[in-house]
Protein backbone atom coordinates (compact mmCIF):
# COMPACT_ATOMS: atom_id res chain seq x y z
CA UNK A 1 0.00 0.00 0.00
CA UNK A 2 2.91 2.35 0.73
CA UNK A 3 3.89 2.50 -2.95
CA UNK A 4 0.51 3.58 -4.06
CA UNK A 5 0.10 6.16 -1.29
CA UNK A 6 3.40 7.73 -2.28
CA UNK A 7 2.26 7.66 -5.93
CA UNK A 8 -0.94 9.44 -4.89
CA UNK A 9 1.12 11.99 -2.97
CA UNK A 10 3.27 12.76 -6.02
CA UNK A 11 0.25 13.13 -8.26
CA UNK A 12 -1.57 15.44 -5.85
CA UNK A 13 1.35 17.51 -4.51
CA UNK A 14 3.80 17.31 -7.43
CA UNK A 15 6.83 16.05 -5.47
CA UNK A 16 7.98 12.85 -3.79
CA UNK A 17 7.00 12.37 -0.12
CA UNK A 18 9.59 12.51 2.62
CA UNK A 19 8.19 9.50 4.48
CA UNK A 20 5.40 6.93 4.54
CA UNK A 21 3.69 5.36 7.53
CA UNK A 22 0.86 2.97 8.34
CA UNK A 23 -1.58 2.60 11.24
CA UNK A 24 -4.01 -0.31 11.58
CA UNK A 25 -7.67 -0.49 12.48
CA UNK A 26 -8.73 -2.74 15.33
CA UNK A 27 -11.26 -5.33 16.29
CA UNK A 28 -12.18 -5.91 19.91
CA UNK A 29 -12.56 -9.57 20.92
CA UNK A 30 -14.30 -8.81 24.23
CA UNK A 31 -14.49 -6.09 26.89
CA UNK A 32 -16.87 -3.62 25.26
CA UNK A 33 -17.77 -0.23 26.75
CA UNK A 34 -15.48 -0.94 29.67
CA UNK A 35 -12.59 1.36 28.72
CA UNK A 36 -14.24 4.51 30.06
CA UNK A 37 -15.37 2.62 33.15
CA UNK A 38 -11.89 1.77 34.36
CA UNK A 39 -12.07 -1.77 32.99
CA UNK A 40 -10.36 -4.23 30.70
CA UNK A 41 -10.49 -4.50 26.92
CA UNK A 42 -9.10 -7.19 24.66
CA UNK A 43 -8.56 -5.83 21.14
CA UNK A 44 -6.29 -6.84 18.24
CA UNK A 45 -4.79 -4.58 15.60
CA UNK A 46 -5.78 -5.54 12.06
CA UNK A 47 -3.73 -6.04 8.93
CA UNK A 48 -6.13 -3.50 7.38
CA UNK A 49 -5.56 0.16 8.09
CA UNK A 50 -4.50 3.53 6.69
CA UNK A 51 -1.27 4.59 5.01
CA UNK A 52 0.07 8.10 4.80
CA UNK A 53 2.73 9.76 2.64
CA UNK A 54 3.90 13.14 3.88
CA UNK A 55 6.40 15.91 3.39
CA UNK A 56 7.30 18.88 5.56
CA UNK A 57 6.87 22.35 4.09
CA UNK A 58 8.88 25.53 4.56
CA UNK A 59 5.82 27.66 5.31
CA UNK A 60 2.99 27.21 7.83
CA UNK A 61 0.46 25.61 5.44
CA UNK A 62 -1.11 22.22 5.96
CA UNK A 63 -2.62 20.33 3.05
CA UNK A 64 -4.52 17.06 3.39
CA UNK A 65 -5.74 14.72 0.69
CA UNK A 66 -7.43 11.35 1.09
CA UNK A 67 -7.74 8.92 -1.80
CA UNK A 68 -10.78 7.54 0.07
CA UNK A 69 -12.61 10.86 -0.25
CA UNK A 70 -11.39 12.13 -3.63
CA UNK A 71 -14.44 14.35 -4.13
CA UNK A 72 -13.40 16.38 -1.06
CA UNK A 73 -10.23 17.43 -2.92
CA UNK A 74 -7.38 18.97 -0.93
CA UNK A 75 -8.18 20.53 2.45
CA UNK A 76 -5.81 23.43 3.05
CA UNK A 77 -5.34 25.53 6.17
CA UNK A 78 -2.68 27.33 8.17
CA UNK A 79 -1.03 26.27 11.40
CA UNK A 80 -2.12 29.69 12.65
CA UNK A 81 -5.82 28.88 12.14
CA UNK A 82 -6.32 25.27 13.09
CA UNK A 83 -10.06 24.85 12.84
CA UNK A 84 -12.01 21.66 12.20
CA UNK A 85 -14.29 21.82 9.17
CA UNK A 86 -16.77 18.95 9.41
CA UNK A 87 -14.97 16.51 7.12
CA UNK A 88 -12.64 13.51 7.41
CA UNK A 89 -9.70 15.97 7.67
CA UNK A 90 -10.95 16.95 11.15
CA UNK A 91 -9.11 13.93 12.57
CA UNK A 92 -5.61 14.93 11.46
CA UNK A 93 -6.41 18.58 12.24
CA UNK A 94 -7.53 17.61 15.76
CA UNK A 95 -4.30 15.70 16.34
CA UNK A 96 -2.15 18.62 15.21
CA UNK A 97 -4.09 20.89 17.58
CA UNK A 98 -3.63 18.33 20.36
CA UNK A 99 0.19 18.32 20.13
CA UNK A 100 0.27 21.63 21.98
CA UNK A 101 -1.14 19.96 25.09
CA UNK A 102 1.75 17.47 24.96
CA UNK A 103 4.44 20.11 24.91
CA UNK A 104 5.13 20.05 21.17
CA UNK A 105 4.17 22.51 18.50
CA UNK A 106 4.90 22.01 14.81
CA UNK A 107 6.50 25.20 13.55
CA UNK A 108 6.21 24.43 9.87
CA UNK A 109 3.40 22.90 7.87
CA UNK A 110 3.28 19.71 5.82
CA UNK A 111 1.46 17.96 2.99
CA UNK A 112 -0.27 14.65 3.64
CA UNK A 113 -1.87 12.01 1.39
CA UNK A 114 -3.86 9.17 2.94
CA UNK A 115 -5.10 5.86 1.59
CA UNK A 116 -6.94 3.26 3.62
CA UNK A 117 -8.62 -0.09 3.19
CA UNK A 118 -10.79 0.05 6.31
CA UNK A 119 -14.49 0.27 5.56
CA UNK A 120 -15.77 3.66 6.68
CA UNK A 121 -18.29 3.78 9.55
CA UNK A 122 -17.93 0.03 10.19
CA UNK A 123 -16.64 0.34 13.74
CA UNK A 124 -13.15 -0.89 12.89
CA UNK A 125 -11.58 2.34 14.13
CA UNK A 126 -10.65 4.16 10.98
CA UNK A 127 -10.77 7.37 13.05
CA UNK A 128 -8.35 6.09 15.67
CA UNK A 129 -6.03 4.80 12.94
CA UNK A 130 -6.06 8.23 11.31
CA UNK A 131 -5.30 9.91 14.62
CA UNK A 132 -2.43 7.63 15.58
CA UNK A 133 -1.06 7.81 12.05
CA UNK A 134 -1.09 11.62 12.01
CA UNK A 135 0.65 11.70 15.39
CA UNK A 136 3.32 9.30 14.18
CA UNK A 137 3.90 11.16 10.91
CA UNK A 138 4.13 14.58 12.57
CA UNK A 139 6.52 13.21 15.22
CA UNK A 140 8.72 11.68 12.52
CA UNK A 141 8.70 14.81 10.34
CA UNK A 142 9.63 17.14 13.21
CA UNK A 143 11.65 14.89 15.47
CA UNK A 144 9.13 14.90 18.36
CA UNK A 145 10.01 12.09 20.71
CA UNK A 146 6.67 10.41 21.32
CA UNK A 147 6.35 6.76 22.36
CA UNK A 148 3.67 4.57 20.77
CA UNK A 149 1.68 4.73 24.00
CA UNK A 150 1.88 8.53 24.03
CA UNK A 151 0.62 8.61 20.44
CA UNK A 152 -2.41 6.60 21.58
CA UNK A 153 -3.13 9.03 24.41
CA UNK A 154 -2.62 11.99 22.05
CA UNK A 155 -5.14 10.50 19.60
CA UNK A 156 -7.71 9.91 22.33
CA UNK A 157 -7.22 13.44 23.66
CA UNK A 158 -7.69 14.86 20.14
CA UNK A 159 -10.90 12.90 19.68
CA UNK A 160 -12.31 13.84 23.10
CA UNK A 161 -11.39 17.49 22.94
CA UNK A 162 -11.70 18.47 19.28
CA UNK A 163 -14.00 15.88 17.69
CA UNK A 164 -16.39 15.74 20.64
CA UNK A 165 -16.57 11.96 21.05
CA UNK A 166 -15.85 11.06 24.64
CA UNK A 167 -14.21 7.75 23.67
CA UNK A 168 -11.95 5.63 25.84
CA UNK A 169 -8.37 4.64 25.02
CA UNK A 170 -8.96 1.21 23.45
CA UNK A 171 -8.99 2.03 19.74
CA UNK A 172 -5.98 4.31 19.69
CA UNK A 173 -4.05 1.98 21.99
CA UNK A 174 -4.70 -1.04 19.76
CA UNK A 175 -3.72 0.90 16.65
CA UNK A 176 -0.49 2.18 18.22
CA UNK A 177 0.51 -0.92 20.19
CA UNK A 178 -0.78 -3.90 18.17
CA UNK A 179 1.30 -7.00 17.72
CA UNK A 180 1.03 -9.64 14.99
CA UNK A 181 -1.15 -12.64 15.86
CA UNK A 182 -1.81 -11.36 19.38
CA UNK A 183 -4.65 -9.74 21.23
CA UNK A 184 -3.83 -7.05 23.82
CA UNK A 185 -5.30 -7.38 27.29
CA UNK A 186 -5.32 -3.76 28.40
CA UNK A 187 -6.26 -2.34 31.77
CA UNK A 188 -7.72 1.00 30.74
CA UNK A 189 -7.16 2.51 34.18
CA UNK A 190 -3.43 1.91 34.54
CA UNK A 191 -2.64 1.29 30.85
CA UNK A 192 -0.80 -1.86 31.89
CA UNK A 193 -1.16 -4.48 29.19
CA UNK A 194 -0.04 -7.85 28.06
CA UNK A 195 -0.07 -9.59 24.71
CA UNK A 196 -1.96 -12.85 24.33
CA UNK A 197 -1.25 -14.97 21.25
CA UNK A 198 -4.37 -16.06 19.38
CA UNK A 199 -4.06 -19.82 18.71
CA UNK A 200 -3.36 -20.92 15.14
CA UNK A 201 -6.46 -23.08 14.92
CA UNK A 202 -8.76 -20.09 15.30
CA UNK A 203 -9.65 -17.80 12.41
CA UNK A 204 -10.99 -14.32 13.04
CA UNK A 205 -13.84 -13.41 10.74
CA UNK A 206 -15.39 -9.95 10.69
CA UNK A 207 -18.83 -9.53 9.14
CA UNK A 208 -19.87 -6.01 8.29
CA UNK A 209 -23.62 -5.46 8.63
CA UNK A 210 -23.27 -2.43 6.37
CA UNK A 211 -25.30 -0.42 8.89
CA UNK A 212 -23.28 2.75 9.41
CA UNK A 213 -22.91 3.68 13.01
CA UNK A 214 -23.63 7.32 12.26
CA UNK A 215 -25.79 7.91 15.34
CA UNK A 216 -23.07 6.42 17.41
CA UNK A 217 -21.31 9.51 18.74
CA UNK A 218 -24.27 11.08 20.52
CA UNK A 219 -25.60 7.74 21.79
CA UNK A 220 -22.05 6.85 22.88
CA UNK A 221 -21.78 10.02 24.93
CA UNK A 222 -25.24 9.23 26.43
CA UNK A 223 -24.05 5.80 27.54
CA UNK A 224 -21.01 7.34 29.10
CA UNK A 225 -23.11 9.81 31.04
CA UNK A 226 -25.44 7.05 32.24
CA UNK A 227 -22.42 5.16 33.57
CA UNK A 228 -21.24 8.29 35.37
CA UNK A 229 -24.65 8.68 37.00
CA UNK A 230 -24.61 5.02 38.04
CA UNK A 231 -21.15 5.44 39.55
CA UNK A 232 -22.16 8.55 41.50
CA UNK A 233 -25.23 6.71 42.86
CA UNK A 234 -23.38 3.57 43.84
CA UNK A 235 -20.81 5.68 45.64
CA UNK A 236 -23.50 6.61 48.15
CA UNK A 237 -23.37 2.94 49.24
CA UNK A 238 -19.79 1.78 48.58
CA UNK A 239 -16.63 3.64 47.69
CA UNK A 240 -15.85 2.73 44.09
CA UNK A 241 -13.40 4.72 41.95
CA UNK A 242 -14.92 3.26 38.77
CA UNK A 243 -17.73 0.86 37.86
CA UNK A 244 -15.23 -1.78 36.81
CA UNK A 245 -13.50 -1.62 40.19
CA UNK A 246 -16.54 -3.55 41.46
CA UNK A 247 -16.64 -7.33 41.29
CA UNK A 248 -20.02 -8.76 40.19
CA UNK A 249 -20.95 -9.86 43.74
CA UNK A 250 -20.20 -6.39 45.13
CA UNK A 251 -22.30 -4.88 42.38
CA UNK A 252 -25.21 -7.17 43.20
CA UNK A 253 -25.01 -6.17 46.85
CA UNK A 254 -25.05 -2.41 46.21
CA UNK A 255 -26.81 -2.02 42.85
CA UNK A 256 -30.06 -0.75 44.37
CA UNK A 257 -28.28 2.48 45.21
CA UNK A 258 -28.49 3.21 41.46
CA UNK A 259 -31.84 4.91 41.19
CA UNK A 260 -32.60 4.75 37.49
CA UNK A 261 -33.27 1.24 36.15
CA UNK A 262 -31.62 2.22 32.85
CA UNK A 263 -28.42 3.35 34.59
CA UNK A 264 -28.48 0.18 36.67
CA UNK A 265 -28.54 -1.95 33.53
CA UNK A 266 -25.69 0.06 31.98
CA UNK A 267 -23.62 -0.44 35.12
CA UNK A 268 -24.43 -4.15 35.23
CA UNK A 269 -23.10 -4.53 31.72
CA UNK A 270 -19.85 -2.71 32.54
CA UNK A 271 -19.20 -4.75 35.70
CA UNK A 272 -19.93 -8.15 34.18
CA UNK A 273 -18.24 -7.36 30.87
CA UNK A 274 -15.08 -6.46 32.74
CA UNK A 275 -15.20 -9.83 34.52
CA UNK A 276 -15.81 -11.57 31.19
CA UNK A 277 -12.77 -9.90 29.61
CA UNK A 278 -10.61 -11.25 32.42
CA UNK A 279 -12.01 -14.77 32.09
CA UNK A 280 -11.70 -14.64 28.32
CA UNK A 281 -8.01 -13.77 28.53
CA UNK A 282 -7.51 -16.74 30.87
CA UNK A 283 -9.45 -19.02 28.51
CA UNK A 284 -7.34 -17.90 25.56
CA UNK A 285 -4.16 -18.44 27.50
CA UNK A 286 -5.15 -22.00 28.33
CA UNK A 287 -6.32 -22.66 24.77
CA UNK A 288 -9.94 -23.09 25.86
CA UNK A 289 -11.58 -21.57 22.81
CA UNK A 290 -15.01 -23.00 23.63
CA UNK A 291 -15.16 -21.06 26.89
CA UNK A 292 -13.87 -17.99 25.08
CA UNK A 293 -16.72 -18.36 22.60
CA UNK A 294 -19.33 -18.66 25.35
CA UNK A 295 -18.07 -15.46 26.92
CA UNK A 296 -18.38 -13.74 23.53
CA UNK A 297 -22.01 -14.82 23.37
CA UNK A 298 -22.78 -13.52 26.88
CA UNK A 299 -21.07 -10.28 25.95
CA UNK A 300 -23.34 -9.85 22.93
CA UNK A 301 -26.47 -10.58 24.93
CA UNK A 302 -25.46 -8.04 27.55
CA UNK A 303 -24.70 -5.38 24.92
CA UNK A 304 -28.07 -6.13 23.31
CA UNK A 305 -30.26 -6.22 26.42
CA UNK A 306 -28.52 -4.18 29.12
CA UNK A 307 -26.31 -1.73 27.27
CA UNK A 308 -28.68 -1.47 24.29
CA UNK A 309 -26.10 -0.69 21.64
CA UNK A 310 -26.90 -3.49 19.20
CA UNK A 311 -29.36 -3.45 16.31
CA UNK A 312 -31.49 -5.99 14.43
CA UNK A 313 -28.80 -6.64 11.82
CA UNK A 314 -26.04 -7.28 14.38
CA UNK A 315 -28.33 -9.49 16.46
CA UNK A 316 -29.19 -11.51 13.37
CA UNK A 317 -25.52 -11.95 12.43
CA UNK A 318 -24.49 -12.94 15.96
CA UNK A 319 -27.39 -15.37 16.41
CA UNK A 320 -26.83 -16.95 13.00
CA UNK A 321 -23.16 -17.45 13.90
CA UNK A 322 -23.94 -19.09 17.26
CA UNK A 323 -25.74 -21.93 15.49
CA UNK A 324 -23.28 -22.25 12.59
CA UNK A 325 -20.89 -25.18 12.38
CA UNK A 326 -17.30 -24.60 13.50
CA UNK A 327 -17.98 -21.32 15.35
CA UNK A 328 -16.53 -20.90 18.86
CA UNK A 329 -18.26 -17.60 19.46
CA UNK A 330 -19.53 -14.37 17.92
CA UNK A 331 -20.60 -10.94 19.07
CA UNK A 332 -21.01 -7.36 17.93
CA UNK A 333 -17.75 -5.47 18.23
CA UNK A 334 -16.88 -1.82 18.83
CA UNK A 335 -19.18 0.99 19.92
CA UNK A 336 -22.28 -0.52 18.29
CA UNK A 337 -25.43 0.85 16.62
CA UNK A 338 -24.25 -0.84 13.42
CA UNK A 339 -20.86 -1.90 12.19
CA UNK A 340 -19.50 -5.41 12.51
CA UNK A 341 -19.61 -8.70 14.33
CA UNK A 342 -16.43 -10.54 15.26
CA UNK A 343 -16.49 -14.31 14.92
CA UNK A 344 -14.01 -16.81 16.28
CA UNK A 345 -14.17 -19.77 13.93
CA UNK A 346 -12.32 -23.06 13.51
CA UNK A 347 -9.85 -22.41 10.71
CA UNK A 348 -11.13 -25.15 8.41
CA UNK A 349 -14.69 -23.93 8.72
CA UNK A 350 -14.02 -20.25 8.03
CA UNK A 351 -14.78 -20.21 4.30
CA UNK A 352 -17.95 -22.26 4.60
CA UNK A 353 -19.05 -20.08 7.53
CA UNK A 354 -18.61 -16.91 5.48
CA UNK A 355 -20.62 -18.37 2.62
CA UNK A 356 -23.48 -19.50 4.84
CA UNK A 357 -23.79 -16.39 6.95
CA UNK A 358 -23.59 -13.89 4.08
CA UNK A 359 -26.29 -15.85 2.23
CA UNK A 360 -28.53 -15.87 5.30
CA UNK A 361 -28.01 -12.13 5.66
CA UNK A 362 -28.85 -11.49 2.01
CA UNK A 363 -32.01 -13.61 2.31
CA UNK A 364 -33.11 -11.81 5.45
CA UNK A 365 -32.21 -8.16 4.71
CA UNK A 366 -31.79 -8.08 0.93
CA UNK A 367 -28.35 -6.48 1.23
CA UNK A 368 -24.79 -7.78 1.15
CA UNK A 369 -22.73 -8.19 4.30
CA UNK A 370 -19.00 -7.91 3.54
CA UNK A 371 -16.88 -10.57 5.25
CA UNK A 372 -13.20 -10.30 6.08
CA UNK A 373 -11.03 -13.13 7.27
CA UNK A 374 -8.59 -10.92 9.07
CA UNK A 375 -4.93 -11.05 9.89
CA UNK A 376 -3.94 -9.71 13.27
CA UNK A 377 -1.25 -7.19 12.43
CA UNK A 378 1.34 -5.03 14.14
CA UNK A 379 0.86 -1.48 15.45
CA UNK A 380 1.48 1.86 13.75
CA UNK A 381 4.86 2.13 12.06
CA UNK A 382 6.98 4.08 9.61
CA UNK A 383 7.36 2.24 6.30
C1 LIG B 1 -15.59 2.96 20.65
C2 LIG B 1 -14.65 3.80 21.51
C3 LIG B 1 -13.82 2.92 22.44
C4 LIG B 1 -14.70 1.94 23.21
C5 LIG B 1 -15.67 1.22 22.29
C6 LIG B 1 -16.67 0.38 23.02
O7 LIG B 1 -14.87 2.18 19.76
O8 LIG B 1 -13.79 4.56 20.71
O9 LIG B 1 -13.06 3.71 23.32
O10 LIG B 1 -15.37 2.59 24.26
O11 LIG B 1 -16.40 2.12 21.47
O12 LIG B 1 -16.03 -0.66 23.69
> Can you tell me the mean pLDDT for 204-232?
90
Closest atom of ligand 1 relative to the 33 alpha carbon: 12
pLDDT digits (tens, 9 = 90+) for 6-61: 999 999 999 999 999 999 999 999 999 999 999 999 999 999 999 999 999 999 99
Active site residues: 171
Ligand 1: centre distance to CA 165 (Å): 10
| Sign of the torsion formed by the C-alpha atoms of 181, 187, 190 and 196 | negative
Q: What one-character DSSP code corresponds to residue 199?
A: P
What distance in Å separates the CA atoms of residue 342 and residue 114, rounded to the nearest whole number?
Answer: 26
pLDDT digits (tens, 9 = 90+) for 226-281: 999 999 999 999 999 999 999 999 999 999 999 999 999 999 999 999 999 999 99
Give Cβ neighbours of residue 157 (< 8 Å, ≥ 6 apart).
98, 101, 102
pLDDT digits (tens, 9 = 90+) for 105-152: 999 999 999 999 998 888 999 999 999 999 999 999 999 999 999 999
Side-chain-facing half-sphere of 2: CA atoms under 13 Å: 11
DSSP 3-state percent helix, strand, coil across the chain (nearest 5): 45, 20, 35
Structural domains for the chain: 2-196 (3.30.230.10), 198-374 (3.30.70.890)
Query: Which is more confident, 101 or 291?
Result: 291
Instruction: State the pLDDT at residue 317.
Output: 98
Instruction: State the pLDDT at residue 1.
Output: 46
Burial status of residue 167 (CB atoms within 10 A of its CB: 0-12, 13-18, 19 or more): buried
Confidence at 216, pLDDT banded by 50, 70, 90:
low
Ligand 1: centre distance to CA 73 (Å): 30
Ligand 1: centre distance to CA 41 (Å): 9
Closest atom of ligand 1 relative to the 123 alpha carbon: 7
Burial status of residue 29 (CB atoms within 10 A of its CB: 0-12, 13-18, 19 or more): buried
Neighbour count for residue 275 (Cβ, 10 Å): 21
What distance in Å separates the CA atoms of residue 311 and residue 215, rounded to the nearest whole number?
Answer: 12
Closest atom of ligand 1 relative to the 35 alpha carbon: 10
Instruction: Name every protein residue with a CB atom under 6 angstroms from any ligand 1 atom.
Output: 28, 32-33, 35-36, 167-168, 170-171, 334-335
Ligand 1: centre distance to CA 294 (Å): 22
pTM as predicted: 0.96
Residue nearest (by alpha carbon) to ligand 1 atom 11:
335
Residue nearest (by alpha carbon) to ligand 1 atom 8:
167
**Does residue 215 register a pLDDT over 60?**
no
Residue nearest (by alpha carbon) to ligand 1 atom 2:
167
Amino acid sequence: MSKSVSGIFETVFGAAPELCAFAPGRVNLIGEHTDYNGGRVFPCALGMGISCAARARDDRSLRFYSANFPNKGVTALSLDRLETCGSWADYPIAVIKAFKGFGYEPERGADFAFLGDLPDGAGLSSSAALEVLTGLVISALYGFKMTAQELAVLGQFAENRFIGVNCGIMDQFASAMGRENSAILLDSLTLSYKYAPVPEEAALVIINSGVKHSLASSAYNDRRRECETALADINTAIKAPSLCSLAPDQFERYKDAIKSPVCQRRAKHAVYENARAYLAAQALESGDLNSFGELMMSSHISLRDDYEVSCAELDFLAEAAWSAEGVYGARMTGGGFGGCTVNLVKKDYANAFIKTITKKYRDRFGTEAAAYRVKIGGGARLL
